[in-house]
Amino acid sequence: MCLAVPGRVLEIEERDATRMAKVDFGGVVKDVCLEYVPDMQVGDYAIVHVGFALQRLDEESARQTLELFENLGVLEEEFGDHWGRAAKDAGAERPAGTELPADRSEKEARS
């Protein structure tokens, strides 16, 4: 529903008592209102929708998510998902507590 893209804050200024920024979307620079993310700093990434920054992009989370994807196949190859396979072969549900290691670490990271 809502087209929003990540951009990097280049500079911040007050305009009409409103906090505005120049935000860089990979070589495309656009004026963006920062009123809803008061703690944004130059260099931060924001999720921008219709000229408004709505949320700071958490770069550490982005990195972790990608790392999780990187490890998906590898962990499976390494440890083997025998519970899942066995359950699937038997046409049964996966027994509780047998999630993939990657899944467990996600859950812990979640909170």
Q: Which is nearer to another protein, 13 or 35 (CB)?
A: 35
Q: With contact defined as beta carbons under 8 Å apart, do 81 and 100 qualify? A: yes
Of 44, 10, 42, the residue nearest 24 (C-alpha): 10
Give min distance, CB of 79 to another protein, in A: 13
Q: Residue numbers of the site for another protein (CB under 8 A)?
A: 1-8, 16-18, 22, 25-30, 33, 35-38, 45, 47-52, 54-55, 57-59, 61-62, 64-66, 69-70, 72-73, 76, 81, 84-85, 87-88, 91-94, 96, 99-100, 103, 110
Q: Which residues contact 61 (CB under 8 A, 6 or more apart)?
A: none
3-state secondary structure of 2: coil
